[in-house]
Amino acid sequence: MMRGLSENPAALAALILAQAACAGVFLFDVVLDGGELTRLWPLDWHFGVEAAAVLGLIAGIAFEIRVLLRLLARKAHLERQVSMAASALHDVIEAHFRKWGLTASEHDVAWFTVKGLPIAEIARLRGSAEGTVKSHLNAIYRKAGVTNRGELLSLLIEDLMDSPDPAPLPQALPAGG
């Protein structure tokens, strides 16, 4: 259940709202019960249990709000990272295409190939014959210095893999240091 909630912040928010409504009902009941008490100590056991339950529920809601905020921040961070990676990959691919001197048609076929489309689908999307697409692919492979789609893809992502590692994270200080 928690995994499902962590993947769906709206479900966690709905759970928090439901718990907040329950907490409101219980808090209202505790306040009414507290007004009827003629003495504060020793407390009526029923009132004590209800008050503890309300406090526990409110603490749980506060914890869940904190978890939800962390999930949303993590999701936003991951989305930024994916966007940056996609942009970097696009830039690397475009740089290679320029370096290879691809024609406009070869450029289109190369992008469809990188996206994993089969020759027949590329031909259909471009409104050309499969033989024409194969001819463009051969020209692309020749200009790139590769012999097949797998080698082409490896070449294109190699620049990303060879990029310098990010700065290492600072290490925690040893205890007592």
Task: DSSP letter for 163, please.
Answer: S
Split into its structural domains, the chain has a count of 2
**Same domain, residue pair 59 and 124:** no
**Same domain, residue pair 31 and 67:** yes
Nearest to 100 by CA among 135, 136, 141, 131: 141
The residue with tokens 């999307």 is 125
**128 falls within a domain:** yes
**Same domain, residue pair 114 and 152:** yes
**Same domain, residue pair 60 and 109:** no
**143 falls within a domain:** yes
**Same domain, residue pair 17 and 59:** yes
Asked if residues 37 and 44 have their Cβ atoms less than 8 Å apart, the reply is yes
**Same domain, residue pair 52 and 114:** no
**Same domain, residue pair 12 and 59:** yes
Q: Which domain holds residue 69?
A: 2-75
Asked if residues 24 and 16 have their Cβ atoms less than 8 Å apart, the reply is no
CATH of the domain at 115: 1.10.10.10
Buried b / exposed e over 70-103, threshold 16 CB at 10 Å, is ebeeeeeeeeeeeeeeeeeeeebbeebbeebebe
**Same domain, residue pair 54 and 7:** yes
Question: d(Cα 132, Cα 12) in Å, to the nearest integer?
Answer: 53
- What is the tens place of the pLDDT at every residue in 3-56? 555 567 788 888 889 989 988 888 888 887 777 655 555 567 777 788 888 899
**176 falls within a domain:** no
Instruction: Look at the pTM and tell me if it is higher than 0.75.
Output: no
| Percentage above 90 pLDDT, the chain | 46
